[in-house]
Structure 1
Amino acid sequence: MAIAFTFPGQGSQSIGMGKDLADAFPQAAQVFAEVDDALGEKLSDIMWNGPEETLTLTANAQPALMAVSIAALRVLQAEGLDLKSKVAYVAGHSLGEYSALCAAGTFSLADTARLLRIRGNAMQAAVPVGMGAMAAIIGLEQPGVEAICLEASALGACQIANDNGGGQLVISGEKSAVEKAAALATDKGAKRAILLPVSAPFHSTLMAPAADAMRAALENVEKRDPVVPLIANVRAAPVSDAGEIAALLVEQVTGQVRWRETVEWFAANGVTTLYEIGSGKVLTGLARRIDKSVNGIAVNSPADIEAALQTLIG
C-alpha cells in the first residue's frame, strides 16, 4: 500500500496555472516569488497572464511547471505532510524529474529553477529550427516502433523518446527520418502517427550539445541524496545517490523516458497510489492505461490539496 509522488512534464502547461494556489496559500505564493528571484524575471506573470506562446517556450515552460509542482508540495508540507514518512518514491516525466528531485531535497528550489532554464535554452539551441521533429505513434508497442525507427534511421537520427504506455510512444530525431518513420508506422498498423508541434527533437541523440551543457551545470550545483528514492527516467529503477542521479540526468537529455516501465515498476513493488503533483492530469491518465492496479490522483488545486491531505494525513 505504498504511495509515490509523480511530477508532470512539458505539455501540461496552461495560462493561469498555479494562480489559485498562490491566491489561497502564502506558501505557494512564496514558491513563485522564489522562482522569479532565481531567474531574475517575473515568470509568474507570464504563467498567469500569458501570452501563451511565451509560456510555451521551452526555457519558460520547464521552470514554470516545476514551480507549480513545488508550490502544491509546499502547501501539503505546511499542512503536515512529511515526505520521507508518507511517500515511498518520487518520479517525474522528463523535466518533471527535476521537480521530483527538488521535492526530495536533492536540489534547492532556486537551483532547480536555474537548472531548468539552462536545460530549456540548451535543448532549444541544440538543433536549428526545422531540422528536427517528433511524432506520436498510437497503437503500436515498443518492439514495432523500435523496428520502424531502425529502418527510418537510414535517413538520419530516429529513436524512441518517450514510452508513455498504452500503445503511445513518441519518436524523435531528424525531420526526414521522423516523417519516414511516421509513414512506416501507418503502413505497419499504427492507429495514428501524428507529427507534434514541438520546437526541437527532445530525447534524441541530436540533443548531445544540451547534454554537455547539463553536465557542466550539474557539476557546479550543490546536490544532496534524495530523502526518498527517485525512479529515474532512463533506468525505470530506484536511485538514491546524488552523484549517480546527476549522471542519469545528463543521460536523460538524449535518452528515453521509460514511463511505461516506471509505472510497471511501481505496480510490481507495492505502490498502489500515484499522486501527480502539479499542473494537469497527463500522468494520472497514463497510469490508468498502463496498469489498472495503480490509482492515479491529480493534485493541482486547493480542493485537490484538501482531498489529498485527508487521505495522506487523516
Structure 2
Amino acid sequence: MRAFVFPGQGSQKVGMGAELADASAVAREVFEEVDDALGQKLSAIMREGPEDVLTLTENAQPAIMANAIATLRVLEKEGGIALADKGDCVAGHSLGEYTALCAVGAFSLADTARLLKLRGQAMQAAVPVGQGAMCALLGADVEKAQALADAAAEGQVCAVANDNDPTQVVLSGHREAIERAIALVKEHGIKRGILLPVSAPFHCPLMQPAADAMAEALEKTPPQALRLPVYANVTASLVSDAAEERRLLVEQVCGRVRWRESVIAMQAAGTTHFVELGGKVLGPMIGRSVQDVEVTSVVTMEDIESLIKAL
C-alpha cells in the first residue's frame, strides 16, 4: 500500500517552486491559478521573497500547498500518474491536510488557496503578536513533553501541539509558559528546547477564534467527496466522509497534530511506501516513527521523473 503525504508550515523557503515552474507549463498554471484566486502575486513572493513576507502565516500556508499541488499536477499530467490509482490514502501535516484534500478532489485548487489564506490570517489574528510562542523539544517523546507542559503551565496555556516523531514534540501556548518549559527541559530528561520562529501559538486552545473563523468558512466551502481517504491530524485515523472531515478540520486548529500516531496507523493498515510531495521534512519524521517502510520525497523535476519510473 502507498500513502501520499503533504508537508506543513516550516517547509517554505525563498525559491520554492521556481525550478518546477521554469521546467513545466503545468506547474506554472498551478501557481497562476493560486495567484488569481488570492488576488496577489504569491508566486513572485515564493520565487523572490523577501523571506519575512513569505514566512507570514497567511502567505506560507497557501505557498506550501501550491508547491505541493504543482508537484502533484506535473506527476499526474506529464507522468500520466493518477493519484487515486497509485495511492491508497493521503495525509498532511497541519495545513498539509488541506493540500491532501485538494489532491483527492475534496476542494478545488482555488478554494484550497482561499481557505488557507483565511486560516493563516485567522491564526495570526487570534493572539496578539508577542503573547504566544511555540518550542520544539528534541529528545522528547509525547509523555515527557506532556509532563513538561503540565509543569510549565502555571495557570497559562502550555499544550502539546505537534507529536511529530518519537524524538520531536512541539509545545504551544502563552510565551511565558513556553519560556518556562524551555528552562525546565533538563529536569524532565529532555535534550533541548528551541523557541520556534513562528508568529502565533498554533494548535493550542488560544487558537479558538481561528477555529470559529474556519467553522464559518468551511460552512460556506465544505469539502466534497474524497477520491481517497485521508488520515485526519486530530484523530490519527482514516476518514472518508466529507462531513466528518469538515468537523475535524475545525477541531484541527486548536487540536494536536498527531503525526507520529498517523504514520504508525498508516503502517498498521498496510502502508509500506510513503511519498512526500513538495517537501523533504516529513520523510525523516516517518523514518523515525516506523521501521521497514520506503520513503520517497519529491521536490524537483528529477525527483518527479524518478518517481514516475518507480510507479
Which residue is 1:295 aligned to?
A: 294
CA–CA distance in structure 1, aligned partners of residues 141 and 83 of structure 2: 35
Q: Deviations over 1:70-125 (max 9, x none)?
A: 00101111121122121000000001111000001000000000000000000000
Q: How does 1:119-130 map to 2 (within 5 A)?
A: 119-130=119-130
Shift of 1:222: 4.5
List structure 1 segments (4+ residues) > 4 angstroms apart after TM superposition. Answer: none
Higher mean alpha-carbon deviation, 21-30 vs 31-40, is at: 21-30
Distance 1:49 1:142 in 2: 38
- 2:196 aligned residue: 196
Whole-Å Cα distance in 2 between the matches of residues 197 and 52 of structure 1? 12
Alignment of 1:207-226 (within 5 A): 207-226=207-226
C-alpha separation between the residues in 1 aligned to 2:118 and 2:61?
10
- Tell me which residue corresponds to 1:310: 309
SS at match of 2:184: helix
1:101-116 maps to which residues of 2 (within 5 A)?
101-116=101-116
Q: CA deviation at 1:145?
A: 1.3
SS of residue matched to 2:161: strand
Q: Distance in 2 between matches of 1:75 and 1:250?
A: 30
CA RMSD in angstroms, aligned pairs only: 1.0
Residue 161 of structure 1 contacts residue 202 of structure 1 at CA under 8 Å; is this kept in 2? yes
Gaps in structure 1 of 5+ consecutive residues: none
Q: Secondary structure of 1:274's match?
A: strand
TM-score (norm 2): 0.98
2:25 maps to 1:20: no
Between the aligned partners of 2:224 and 2:310, the Cα distance in structure 1 is: 29
Residue 200 of structure 1: SS of its match in structure 2? Answer: coil
Q: Distance in 2 between matches of 1:99 and 1:124?
A: 20
CA offsets per residue over residues 169-197 of structure 1, 9 Å max, x none? 00000111111222222212111011111
Identify the range of structure 1 (217-226 vs 203-212) with the bigger mean alpha-carbon deviation: 217-226
2:179 corresponding residue in structure 1: 179
Where do 1:124-139 residues align within 5 Å? 124-139=124-139
The alignment covers a number of residue pairs equal to: 310
> Distance between the aligned counterparts of 1:76 and 1:296, measured in 2?
17
Q: Following superposition of structure 1 onto structure 2, how do residues 70-109 of structure 1 map, counting pairs within 5 Å?
A: 70-78=69-77, 79-109=79-109
Cα distance in 1, alignment partners of residues 126 and 262 from structure 2: 28
Cα deviation, 1:197-251, whole Å, max 9, x if unaligned, reads 1110000100000000000000001521210000000011100111111110110
What is the DSSP-based 3-state SS (H/G/I as helix, E as strand, rest coil) of the residue aligned with 2:296? strand
SS at match of 1:90: strand
Q: Give the secondary-structure state (helix, strand or coil) at the position aligned to 1:162.
A: strand
Counting aligned pairs with the same residue, the percent is 56
Structure 2: which 5+ residue stretches go unaligned? none
Q: Indicate the residue corresponding to 1:3 in structure 2.
A: 2
Name the structure 2 match of 1:34.
33
Q: What is the distance in 2 between the residues matched to 1:202 and 1:263?
A: 21
**In structure 1, how many angstroms separate the alpha carbons of the residues matched to 2:282 and 2:166?**
12
Offset at residue 151 of structure 1 (A)? 2.2
Contact 1:135 1:172 in 2 (8 A): yes
Contact preservation (8 Å) 1:155, 1:176: no
TM-score, length-scaled by structure 1: 0.97
Cα distance in 2 between the residues matched to 1:223 and 1:94: 16
